[in-house]
Copies of this chain bind each other. A is one copy, B any other.
């Protein structure tokens, strides 16, 4: 099937922050829009770690794309995977249909980067997809189930050690959430387990966590994690990962059955443009109007794009994608009307990260905020950006529940294909 509408046809690949912002902003523009995503939902990735740590249900952070786009009568949604782009003939192939385009917006995001480390890919789990979060939730709880029946001390400690690789916001937020789960919730459930044997290890190759924040906030976050019992290893990259643990650059071995890889991402771009056309992390270099050099009809936004501003490449964060999406929609509308739009300029409204229940660090302009006030700001901003009234209420409700009852309600070990296999996380000392 080939879809070729009569209006100028805008194909948007990816229903993340960038793609959604573009499609929404094109609602009242005289174009036909086709929004393609491999999933039928938009995922609010910044809160993915809360699903992975049993705080939120998936439906609090994932909303069906079709529902979000219901009122946009000129937007058609297709669940399919992008296969290839033919720049010359202005055509994309997806797993379901072929699409001719007048404008193409690549908002295809990024995927976990294992830096070519095949065993890291095999033996660790990323934290980018909803499936990753559900897998991690089941894995972590499964390790506790198995450990509670394991006599051999070495096997038990290995089951009860959780390693997080990467000290960026995802690694810091996830390890903080896991540490709180371990301190406040699980001891009530696993009375047989000696919690002195449980440990969370955060490995960061650089010399501090949250390197993108002001040094003081990074130090505060590190201290907060350490108070929760997280062991932070700085200045060490991971040399190897295997079934039973990981090896650091200095040769130290950490025995663990659970390695969460948040050390890096690279752009997900189904284009072979050559090395010169891409920057660090495979991000596509774009002009100041966010299109491919030589292809004014092909825009790249969000994590997939390397946008240079004031000599630096903009970070892979939601606000860059959202502002990029809105800009591209304006740009397309202007071109149809024969008007012009000034170059894209990103306005940094601040960055933030939670470090656990009731504590966050935030940088908003010249302000450096932490603690409970930072957390309230964090809650407010995230509620603002969550898609849909119901998701906001659900998330607020879950956060309040966690805040007042110190509880993580969604502790289910489940897969879509059938019920949990009790064998899957068995350590070899169990039985």
Is A190 on the interface with B (CB-CB < 8 A)? yes
Report the separation of the CA atoms of residues A189 and B39 in the bound assembly, to the nearest whole angstrom.
15
A50-85 to B contact mask, C-beta < 8 Å, 1/0 = 000000011100101011001000001011110000
State in angstroms the CA–CA spacing of A410 and B192 once bound together: 36
Shortest distance in angstroms between A187's beta carbon and chain B's nearest beta carbon? 11
Which chain B residue has the least Cβ–Cβ distance from A37?
Answer: B422
* A141 interface hit (Cβ, 8 Å): yes
Q: Answer yes or no: A234 CB below 8 A from chain B CBs.
A: no
Q: Tell whether A411 is near chain B: CB-to-CB under 8 Å.
A: yes
Interface residues in A396-414 (C-beta closer than 8 Å to B): 401, 409-414
A134 CB to closest chain B CB, in angstroms? 4
Check if B149 sits within 8 Å of A67, measured CB to CB.
no
Quick check: is A145 within 8 A (CB to CB) of the other chain?
A: yes
A138 within 8 A of B: yes
Which residues of B sit under 8 angstroms from A183, Cβ to Cβ?
none
B38 and A419 contacting across the interface, CB-CB below 8 Å:
yes
Contacts of A419 on B, CB cut-off 8 Å? Answer: 38-39, 129-131
Task: Say how many copies of this protein the assembly contains.
Answer: 2
Q: Which residue of B lies closest to A418 (CB)?
A: B131
Contact call B189/A418, Cβ cutoff below 8 A: no
Structural contact, B415 and A40, CB atoms closer than 8 A: no
Distance, CA A40 to CA B414, complexed state (A) = 9
User: Is the Cβ of A411 less than 8 Å from the Cβ of B78?
Assistant: no
Q: Which one of A214-222, A237-245, A265-273, A423-431 is at the interface?
A: A423-431
Interface bits A18-61 vs B (CB < 8 Å: 1, else 0): 00000000000000000000111100000000000000011100
Q: Is A279 an interface position by the 8 A CB rule?
A: no
Within 8 A of B (CB), among A306-328: none
Question: Mask for A128-164, Cβ within 8 A of B = 1, else 0?
Answer: 0111101100100100011011110000000000000
A95 within 8 A of B: yes
Docked-complex contact B416 and A64, CB < 8 angstroms: no
A57 to B76, CA, bound (A): 27
Complex: A192 Cα to B409 Cα, angstroms: 39
Min CB distance A401 to B, Å, is: 7
Given contacts A1-B431, A59-B410, A64-B189, contact A420 B38 (CB under 8 A): yes
Least CB distance, A141 to chain B, in whole angstroms: 6
Counting chain B CB atoms within 10 Å of each CB, the highest count among A96, A129, A134 belongs to: A96
Contacts of A81 in B (CB 8 A): 422
Q: Is A417 interfacial (CB 8 A cutoff)?
A: yes
Given the known A-B contacts A40-B141, A413-B41, are A67 and B189 also in contact in the complex, defined by CB atoms under 8 Å?
Answer: yes
> Are A131 and B417 neighbours in the complex by a CB distance under 8 Å?
yes
Interface string of A173-192 (1 = CB under 8 A from B): 00000000000000011101
Q: Which residues of B contact A422 (CB under 8 A)?
A: 38, 79-81, 95-96
Instruction: State in angstroms the CA–CA spacing of A390 and B422 once bound together.
Output: 26
Q: Are B135 and A416 in contact (CB under 8 A)?
A: yes
* A412 vs B57: C-alpha distance when bound (angstroms): 12
Contacting pair B412 A134 (CB below 8 A): no
In the complex, whether A292 has a CB less than 8 A from a CB of chain B is: no
Q: A411 — which chain B residues lie within 8 A by C-beta?
A: 40-41, 64, 67
Q: Is the CB of A79 within 8 A of B145?
A: yes
Question: Does A97 reach chain B (CB closer than 8 Å)?
Answer: yes
- Tell me whether A149 and B39 are in contact in the complex, defined as CB-CB below 8 angstroms, given that A410-B59, A414-B131, A422-B80 are known contacts: no
Take A129-B419, A189-B70, A417-B135 as given contacts and tell me if A149 and B97 are in contact as well, using a CB distance cutoff of 8 Å.
Answer: yes
Q: List chain B residues, Cβ under 8 A from A70.
A: 188-189
Please report A residues at the B interface, Cβ cutoff 8 Å: 1, 38-41, 57-59, 62, 64, 66-67, 70, 76, 78-81, 95-97, 129-132, 134-135, 138, 141, 145-146, 148-151, 188-190, 192, 390, 401, 409-420, 422-423, 426, 430-431
Besides A70-B189, A79-B422, A415-B415, 8 new A-B residue pairs in contact (Cβ under 8 A), listed by A number: A39-B420, A40-B420, A67-B188, A78-B149, A95-B426, A131-B416, A131-B417, A134-B416
A sample of 6 cross-chain residue pairs with beta-carbon separation below 8 angstroms, ordered by A number, consists of A1-B150, A62-B412, A78-B148, A95-B426, A96-B430, A416-B416
